[in-house]
Structure 1
Amino acid sequence: MTHAERAADFLLDEARTDWHDESLWQVRGKRDTIVHAIPEWEALRQLGSDIKDNVLSNLDTYLEQFERQATANGVTVHWAKDAAEHNRIVHSILARHRVNRIVKSKSMLTEECHLNQYLKQQGIEVIDTDLGERIIQLRKEPPSHIVMPAIHLKKEEIGQLFYEQLGTDEGASDPQYLTEAARQHLREKFLAAKAAITGVNFAVAETGGIVVCTNEGNADMGVHLAPVQIHCMGIEKVIPQAEHLGVFTRLLGRSATGQPITIYTSHHHRPKEGGEMHVVIVDNGRTEQLGREEFRNSLKCIRCGACMNTCPIYRRSGGHSYDHTIPGPIGSILSPGIDLKKHGDLAFASTLCGSCSDVCPVKIDIHDQLYKWRQMVSEEGLLPKTKTIPLAGAGTVLSHNGLYNIMGKAARVALSHAPRVLVYNGMNPWGKTRELPEVPKESFKEWYARTHKSKF
């Protein structure tokens, strides 16, 4: 199924679509309110973008520096070229310690690598401890948003899920009650786990430390209780120095949810006494994206989700319509780089309005990259016939002045005199909820020639 077909399924429930749209726009509004209180916000964005530019231009140097410093701190650093190697490395660590149950905080990288499914096949139970992630894990769904993975669900649906899975009161939907039920359910999982896995928001080359940002404290709970801690990061997560961290923590929380900073910003530099700390650094196609000059800026992403909260397409099509780990505008420029034939249609899941680029905290030119992917899809001959044939016809008309004039006049006559049923039908989705503009009696060219005769 294409993105459009999956989006059509989501749109069948109009009430949910409207609610989803409004909920995300409310988060966008909170973001706007808090950033307008920061006079230096645009300078902060530019600084974050510049730091990321420096990182991408010296990625090998910073990664090697990070490895040296982390190793000196007693951390074991692993390198994985792809998802399969990442999964094997994580499993080998768990197997050596005979771990059969782990707790995991939210990590889009492990989602990308399908770690949960892999470990389950090896007989290891994986418990996602972020509340939203636990909800969708119980529903056997992927996340629909990188910050709010269960944003597509209503509290009544979560209440029914918890009634069936956790034994809460039937019909209960109070968020505080449901959150407390999840807390009690997860507490025993934390206590029983022998290993904890987290993602990595930032890895500091200067110190060899990693930083994990959460709002629930679940990552801290897992890491502090389990003797073995494993942190999985993409190669682009490294930053040069500790002093740069403040730039990104100021950008991240405000862009993601409209809060000054994430509730927990946790630093991990060395293993706990008697424990082990592992960092798995993963490529999985990132160096290939780095080598694409027009698309390398996509690796600046700090996974705030701001582009999703503002995107009119994402808000009304749902995260699952993107059919890949990272949905929304940023996902639409990352996914085609993984498989252009499979994900090329995501480049068209956009109005190219530029709102995503406007809110991106590190100034990624998202809408420009979407346009460039569209060009590549066309050049590779991957456009469907439903697009290539009309585009070829339009190209012919637009490149011939006389034909353009004739077709314009014919269209004006037809729209003025055609029965309404011929204009407003299933072939005209635009007309489902809105009227077409009033048909002008003449074209601009005709008007200009008529009103400016005396000047020629």
Structure 2
Amino acid sequence: MSGAPAEATSFKDRADAALADRILKVAVERTAGTAEAKRAVAVDAFPDFQAARTRAAAIKDHVVAHLGHYLEQFEANAVAAGAKVHWARTADEACDIVIALCKAAKARSVARSKSMLGEEIGLPHALAEAGIGRVETDLAEHIIQLANERPSHIIWPAMHKTREQVSALFKAKHRTPHEEETIAAMAESARRELRTQMLGADVGISGANFLIADTGAICTVTNEGNAELSLVPPRVHIVTAGIEKIVPSMPHAVHMLRMLARSATGAALTQYTTFYTGPRRPGDRDGPEEMHIVLVDNGRTRMREEGLAEMLRCIRCGACMNHCVVFRQIGGHAYGGTYPGPMGAVLTPVLDGLKQSRDLPNACTMNGKCQEVCPVRIPLPTLLRGWREKSWREGLEPQSLRAGLGLWAWVATRPRLYRMGTSMAVRAMRRLGSKGWISKLPLAGGWTRYRDMPKPAAQTFMDQYRKENGR
């Protein structure tokens, strides 16, 4: 079960609301469009990028195939370095472990570095229910916390907000808000608000971008240095990580880091890439007194067993959603789960159940752009088709849809009838068109409500084919 609160509305209702929000479209396009352009430049400058993708996929496939071996190796090396390793089968178990550790440390406040696994298991809500204060140290997560919203992107959680909206939020919520309407002034306002809370927290909580099996180290990647400030000063550091985050060794981690940064932000390497191996040792100048690592399954073993092992390659770069034509129109919140975009459409049925999320795989246009840009070559369209087929087999599709597709199949298997029908439809659509576009079309209101449909050519493809073939 996803840790995010349940959505009261359907995917279609959320998508309708998103499509009607003009400010949302501007905010999403600003960030996703920039990310797409920067990634293209970074990839062009990367020698043999396609070979690097193939190697990255092979590394992840090898780890997933031998997951038990590498998890045991990681646990042994992490414990040898002084960390304590905990295992959680479900989201609830993971939250219970973290809350128990916080209470054992008599924590009144925790500083949390951005972690999608934390969002997945519902950790922010668990901390609130336990009465433990939480400060989000990532700037975008800080914005989300102030607005009492959920992340809309796995790299830029507040991508759905414009700079103007963030400015208004800071002025309403910060104790000493900015006066100048500049990005630098807003960042300084957040720094004043967060720095004391980060340094005064009793416990620091993070995720992990990678877990290094042969050393027991964890790796975090940030652009702001917030992880270092929120994880080193507290007495206790708690890591929550999915079991698929394992890589065999440091060289493997470095290769994955090169793929992650370029695919996520278009940079050669993220500004802050830090490796933690155990708590503070004698002679260390800083570091936590205790380090706990909570390894979370939450459906990952089941994914490996049920034909979704390729999804366990995912390194959470966000490239698939930055290039997705659906995400670029509706943003992340419309998906309703922890993870948006194409990767979310695959993962949410695992976390929340296919019955509750069957609309997500069906929302995909199957244009294949997500697979084309994925740094670990996840066949996302194939996995989404798998969910569609399962939804059909289990009878989850509405009866009206099943009847409509049955009628279409009956007509489509009768070529003469099909060609006659398409010819009539083309003529009718051309009559409804004006200046090359159709603004309203019966039975296609879901399309024409938000965009015009191109006026079809005067002849169908088959008519044109016969004409050319006759020549």
Which category of TM-score, normalised to the shorter sequence, fits these structures?
over 0.9
Picking from 455, 458, 463, the partner of 1:437 is 455
Supply the AA of the counterpart residue of 2:455.
P
Structure 2 partner of 1:228: 236
Q: Deviations over 1:420-451 (max 9, x none)?
A: 7998257434446435334435x554565677
Equivalences for 1:230-249 in 2 at 5 Å?
Answer: 230-249=238-257
The SS at the match of 1:6 is helix
- Superposed CA deviations along residues 102-157 of structure 1, whole A, max 9, x for unmatched, are 10000111111111111111110111110000110111111000000001101111
Q: Which residue type is aligned with residue 319 of structure 1?
A: G
Report SS of the residue matched to 1:387.
helix
Question: Is residue 337 from structure 1 mapped to residue 350 from structure 2 by the alignment?
Answer: yes
Deviations 1:320-369 (A, max 9, x none): 00111111110111111230001111102221111111111111111221
Name 1:113's counterpart in structure 2: 121
Q: State the alpha-carbon separation in 2 of the partners of residues 381 and 202 from structure 1.
A: 39
Pick closer, same or farther for the CA change 1:94–1:393 going to 2, 3 Å: same
Q: Quickly say closer, same or farther: Cα 1:282–1:403, change in 2 above 3 A.
A: same
Check conservation: 1:216, 1:263, Cα contact below 8 A. Answer: yes
1:287 equivalent in alignment to 2:301: yes
Distance 1:34 1:25 in 2: 14
Matches of 2:433 and 2:375, distance apart in 1: 50
Aligned counterparts, 1:270-309, within 5 A: 270-273=278-281, 275-293=289-307, 295-309=308-322
TM-score if structure 2 supplies the norm length?
A: 0.91
User: Matched residue of 1:231: which SS?
Assistant: strand
- Hey, what's the Cα distance between the residues in 2 that align with 1:453 and 1:433? 37
5+ residue gaps in structure 1?
A: none
CA distance in 2, matches of 1:448, 1:258: 44
Q: In the superposition, relative to structure 1, how do residues 151 and 413 fare at CA in structure 2: closer, same or farther (>3 Å)?
A: closer
> How many Å apart are 1:67 and its aligned residue?
0.4
Give, as a single letter, the amino acid of the residue that structure 1 aligns with 2:312: L
Q: State yes or no: 1:256 paired with 2:256.
A: no
Q: 1:52 to 1:176 in 2, by over 3 A?
A: same
2:149 counterpart of 1:141: yes
Task: Sort the Cα spacing of 1:64 and 1:448 in 2 relative to 1 into closer, same or farther, 3 A.
Answer: closer
> Alpha carbons of 1:214 and 1:169: their partners in 2 closer, same or farther (altered >3 Å)?
closer
TM-score with structure 1 length normalisation? Answer: 0.94
Cα distance change, pair 414–159 in 1 and its aligned pair in 2 (3 A): closer
Contact 1:415/1:423, CA 8 A, preserved across alignment: no
What is the aligned counterpart of 1:211 among 210, 219, 225?
219
Alpha-carbon distance between aligned partners in 1 of 2:373 and 2:180, rounded to the nearest angstrom = 37
**Distance in 2 (alpha carbons) for counterparts of 1:166 and 1:38:** 42
Cα shift readout 1:149-174 (whole Å, capped 9, x = no counterpart): 00110111111111111034587532
Identity among equivalent positions (%) equals 37
CA distance in 2, matches of 1:412, 1:257: 44
Kindly provide the CA deviation profile for residues 246-297 of structure 1, in whole angstroms up to 9, marking residues without a partner as x: 101111111001111111111111101470011000001110111122x210
Residue correspondences, number: 452
The range that moved more, 162-171 or 220-229, is 162-171
User: Which residue does the alignment assign to 1:93?
Assistant: 101
Aligned residue among 384, 391, 394 for 2:398: 384
Q: Is the 8 A contact 1:156 1:172 kept in 2?
A: no
Number of the residue aligned with 2:367: 353
Opposite residue 327 of structure 1, the aligned amino acid is P
Q: 1:3 aligns to what?
A: 11
Moved more, 275-284 or 15-24: 15-24
2:69 corresponding residue in structure 1: 61
- The aligned residue for residue 166 of structure 2 is 158
The residue that corresponds to 1:12 in the other structure is 20
CA distance in structure 2 between the partners assigned to 1:91 and 1:447 by the alignment = 68
Instruction: Say if 1:415 and 1:439, in contact at 8 Å, map to a contact too.
Output: no
Q: Which residue of 2 is the match for residue 317 of structure 1?
A: 330
Check the 8 A contact 1:3/1:349 in 2, yes or no: no
1:81 aligns with 2:89: yes
The change in CA–CA distance for 1:171 and 1:14 in structure 2 (over 3 A counts) is: farther
Kept in 1: contact 2:199–2:229 (CA 8 A): no
Whether the 8 Å CA contact 1:211–1:266 is kept in 2: the answer is: yes
Paired with 1:127 and 1:402, the residues of 2 have a C-alpha distance of 66
Single out whichever of 360-369 and 1-10 deviates more from structure 2.
1-10
Q: Tell me, yes or no, if the aligned pair for 1:159 and 1:172 is still in contact at 8 Å.
A: no
Amino acid at match of 1:424: K
> 1:44: which partner in 2?
52
Tell me, yes or no, if the aligned pair for 2:241 and 2:295 is still in contact at 8 Å: yes
Report the aligned-residue RMSD.
Answer: 2.2
Q: Does the residue aligned with 1:312 lie in a helix, a strand or coil?
A: coil
Q: Give the aligned residue type for 1:303.
A: R
Alpha-carbon distance in structure 2 between the residues aligned to 1:219 and 1:125: 18
Partner deviation per Cα, 1:25-50 (whole Å, 9 max, x = no partner)? 22111001011001221111111100
1:399 CA drift (Å): 1.2
Note if contact 1:210-1:268 (Cα within 8 Å) is conserved in structure 2.
Answer: yes
Look up the SS of the partner of 2:134 in the other structure.
strand
What is the rounded CA distance, in whole Å, between the counterparts of 1:331 and 1:97 in structure 2? 35
Does the CA-based 8 Å contact 2:63-2:70 persist in structure 1? yes
Cα deviation per residue 1:65-99 (whole Å; 9 max; x = unaligned)? Answer: 10011111111000001111111111111111111
- 3-state DSSP of counterpart to 1:95: helix
Greater shift, 420-429 or 211-220, is seen at 420-429
Determine if the alignment matches structure 1 residue 365 to structure 2 residue 383.
no
Q: Contact 2:87–2:296 (CA<8 Å) still a contact in 1?
A: yes
Q: Give distance in 2, aligned partners of 1:79 and 1:62.
A: 14
